[in-house]
Amino acid sequence: MKTAQLHSIFLEFPEICTDTRKIKQNSIFFALKGDNFNGNKYASAALENGAAYAVIDESEYAESDKYIVVDDVLKALQELASFHRNHSTAKVIGLTGSNGKTTTKELINAVLSKKYHTIATKGNLNNHIGVPLTLLSIKEDTEIAIVEMGANHQKEIEFLCSLAQPDFGYITNFGKAHIEGFGSEEGVIKGKSELYDFLTKNDKHVFMNADDPIQLQKLGGYIKKYGFSTNQKEFYKIAFSGANPFVKVTVEDNSIESQLVGSYNFTNCAAAILMGKYFNVPLEKIKEAIEGYSPSNNRSQIITRNGQQIILDAYNANPTSMKAALENFSQMEGNHKIAFLGDMFELGSIAAAEHQNIANLATKLKFDEVILVGENFNRVETDLKKYSSFDKLKEFLKENQLHSESLILIKGSRGMALERILDTI
């Protein structure tokens, strides 16, 4: 079946499902494959559970005209998404970076939705499957789509741009993330910059942090750039006014106080403010959106429990975000500071050195207690407490009560799931 024909069916049944456990009535089921599953085998179940059609790529599973047979289901999904994006009149903002993508995306959506019909990537569905699903969530009345793009190898952002065809774009930062796939910090910069490469090559609009020397160097001579800066007159001025614990910014003599912990969230707020100004959202509405946004999903959340104040930042971690979190934590006011730090994943050959660097930094900052968790941290040379697994940490926490009025930081990669500490302390 040709993409245009499939799109006609999609317009009649505009709900996409890839999981038979989450089938919605009159949806289209795409039978994706993975290392350990074959979606074709579940197509009949999808139809039985209410799907209108099932898109498969193994013809022997086709039992009726409710089955749409294609050469490759994933490719069909991607081509349908690209076709739908070009069918839509919505403006697309592409977003990538090493840290802060999801928070920035949610802030941008909060700001722009004050004036426009928007859609944005759900959660962190930002890969070769998530981006198509986001594009397919664009409705007839959607004016702006904010599309988060993740990558851990070269050419991934380039490919996602070919699907999303962004009209605008922003890179949050370039950090030590996914080094295993990118190969080096230079590889990270090259890979993430594929978004700016696409935009500049196609004469599109670029948003930038003009205080980031890498972005300034890459976009210095490009005309269609719009940046924020704390001190450069040629860019929109947004001042950092503190973060104890919540980030405050000053814009056009207006103070805006977010619900986000950590000075590292300043640029995330600033990017959303910049885009709000560009798209003519009134400043009072921008302020309302930033101040009203509350983080969730273990990202920079503040939780108060039994006299303890807990900063839960356990959604993900890499050397850049870990360093920023520790330095911010050191500047916060607290009687008894405890940092729980979990392993950082996907660092490849630099894993040992980077975990040692973080342990050294945590020692230098002289918190009351630092507790390291994970196989990588367990191998560092340090006098800090360290545990090779969460189960071993759990045993320690059951036998030792934490200071009753502590300020606690919990930071680690997603695979460590350090939010489980909350059930123990």
The three-state DSSP-derived secondary structure of 124-169 is: CCCCCCHHHHHHCCCCCCCCEEEEECCCCCCCHHHHHHHHHCCCEE
231 and 105 fall within a common domain? yes
pLDDT digits (tens, 9 = 90+) for 323-363: 989 998 998 888 899 999 999 998 988 999 999 999 999 99
Asked if residue 366 is part of any domain, the answer here is yes
35 and 124 fall within a common domain? no
277 and 315 fall within a common domain? no
CB 235 within 8 A of CB 70: no
Q: What is the rounded average pLDDT of the residues 379-387?
A: 96
Q: What is the rounded average pLDDT of the residues 41-64?
A: 96
Domain extent at residue 381 = 301-423
196 and 309 fall within a common domain? no
68 and 109 fall within a common domain? no
Asked if residue 78 is part of any domain, the answer here is no
pLDDT for residue 13 is more than 90? yes
Asked if residue 181 is part of any domain, the answer here is yes
CB 266 within 8 A of CB 247: yes
How many CA atoms lie less than 13 Å away from 420 in the CB half-sphere? 18
Region of residue 141 (phi > 0: left; psi between -120 and 50: alpha; otherwise: beta): alpha
24 and 149 fall within a common domain? no
62 and 190 fall within a common domain? no
pLDDT for residue 320 is more than 90? no
Q: Identify the CATH number of the domain in which residue 173 sits.
A: 3.40.1190.10
| Domain stop point among 73, 107, 129 | 73
Query: Can you tell me the distance from the alpha carbon of 288 to that of 219, in angstroms, rounded to the nearest whole number?
Result: 31
pLDDT digits (tens, 9 = 90+) for 102-157: 999 999 999 999 999 999 999 878 999 999 999 999 999 999 999 999 987 889 99
Q: Which of 296, 301, 323 is nearest to 312 (CA)?
A: 301
| Domain stop point among 38, 73, 108 | 73
Asked if residue 82 is part of any domain, the answer here is no
| Domain stop point among 42, 73, 104 | 73
Q: Indicate the number of domains in the chain.
A: 3
Ranges 35-39, 226-230, 270-274: which has the least confidence:
35-39
Q: What is the rounded average pLDDT of the residues 192-212?
A: 96
pTM value is 0.86
Check residue 279 and give its pLDDT. Answer: 98
Check residue 179 and give its pLDDT. Answer: 66
pLDDT for residue 202 is more than 90? yes
pLDDT for residue 247 is more than 90? yes
Query: Can you tell me the distance from the alpha carbon of 342 to that of 376, in angstroms, rounded to the nearest whole number?
Result: 9
Q: What is the dihedral sign for C-alpha 216, 103, 114, 290? A: negative
318 and 234 fall within a common domain? no
Using the structure block, give the residue that is written with the tokens 């569905």: 125
Asked if residue 198 is part of any domain, the answer here is yes
406 and 323 fall within a common domain? yes
Q: Identify the CATH number of the domain in which residue 345 sits.
A: 3.90.190.20
142 and 271 fall within a common domain? yes
Please classify residue 166 by burial: count the beta carbons closer than 10 Å to its beta carbon, then call 0-12 exposed, 13-18 middle and 19+ buried: buried
193 and 260 fall within a common domain? yes
- The residue with greater pLDDT, 178 or 273, is 273
